[in-house]
Amino acid sequence: MTDVLPAARPGEVLFARYAYPPNELGYCGLGDGSEWLEAASRGVAGSSAGAPAGADQSLAERARAFDGAWPYLTFLAEVAGIADPLDPLVTEAYWVGNRLLDIVDPADFADRARQWFGSQLGADWSCLTGGSPSALPHHSFHVLAIYPWMGLLRRSGSQQALEVLDRCRIRWGRVIGVHGDVAEVRSRSLVWDGAALTLGPPRAESVRWAADGRSLLPEVHDGQWVSLHWGWVCDVLTGTQLAALRRCTARQLAVTNRAGGSSSIASVPTMMMT
C-alpha cells in the first residue's frame, strides 16, 4: 500500500511556492527543489514511499537552509510574537509584504541585518544608515541591498546584473494568456538610467506555471494578477497582496536610490500598471 504523505501546513506551501524557482536553479537552499515543487503541487510534506529524494527531511528543516530568507522569517516571527517562522502571515510578509512589516523597528532591523550578513561581500550597508523611508525585512531588501548585484550595476551598468536583480525580486504581472505549462504575463522590468533604478513600461513575458504535470498553484487564468520569481508564476495575488508588493517594492527602490546618492528618488514610480 502506498503511504499517504501528510498535508503540509499553509505556511510551508506558501514558502515552497517562492523557494522553488531559485532552488531549481541551484541558487538557494539544498537539492534541486523537487521537494518544494512537490509540496506546492500536492500540498504535502514529510516522508513516504514515492516521495522525492530528501523528502525525509521536513520542509521546515529544509527552509532553514535558505540563508537569505530564514533570518528574516525568524525576526518577523519574533517581532510579531508568533512561534512559527513559517506561519502564513510571516511568510507572506517576507515574500510579498503585509502589516507585520509596519511594526518593525528600523533600528532593530538594521542591527540584526548587520549581524546576519556582516561578512557578505558587496552588501550595500548605506541602505541601513537612516533616512526616510527606511529599509524593511522584505525580500526586495535582500535582493537590492545584501546581494552584490546592485553594486556591480552601479559600477559598470552591467545588463547581466540588472537582469539578475529583476528576476530575483518578487515582481507582479497580469496574465494575458495561458498555453499549456506557459503563461504570458504583462509585467514591468527594472530599468537603470545610470543613476536610479525604476520600473519600465509594461511588457509581455513568458513564464512557467507548471512542469511535467506539477505546478506551484492549482491553476492560472487570463486576467489574474500573479507574483513572479525568476521564470515562474508563484501565486495568484489578492488586491491587498498586490498593493503590498507594489508598496514594498517602491519603498526599497527609494531606499536603494537614496543610498546610491541618486537625486532621482522622486522618479520612483507610483507602481500603477495597465
The predicted-structure confidence for 183-206, as pLDDT tens digits, reads as follows: 999 999 999 999 999 999 999 999
Whether 188 contacts 151, CB under 8 Å: no
The secondary structure element, H or E, covering residue 253 is helix 239-259
- pLDDT bracket for residue 50 (50, 70, 90): very low
Residue ranges of domains in the chain, CATH in brackets: 67-267 (2.30.30.140)
**pLDDT of amino acid 273:** 33
**pLDDT of amino acid 226:** 98
Give Cβ neighbours of residue 92 (< 8 Å, ≥ 6 apart): 14, 98, 241
Mean pLDDT value of segment 143-154: 96
Whether 100 contacts 79, CB under 8 Å: yes
Read off φ and ψ for residue 177, nearest 5 degrees. 180, 150
Ranking 7-11, 76-80, 135-139 by mean pLDDT, the lowest is 7-11
Q: Shortest CA distance to 62 belongs to which of 92, 109, 30?
A: 30
Give the cell for residue 2. Answer: 502506498
CA-CA distance, 265 to 90, in Å (whole number)?
29
- pLDDT bracket for residue 86 (50, 70, 90): very high
Per the prediction, the chain carries an average pLDDT of 86
Residue 245 to residues 99, 176, 228, 248, Cα–Cα distance (Å): 12, 20, 11, 5
C-alpha dihedral sign at 40, 182, 150, 95: negative
CA-CA distance, 249 to 15, in Å (whole number)?
19
Give the pTM.
0.87
pLDDT higher than threshold 60 for residue 54: no
The predicted-structure confidence for 232-262, as pLDDT tens digits, reads as follows: 999 999 999 999 999 999 999 999 999 987 4
- pLDDT bracket for residue 60 (50, 70, 90): confident
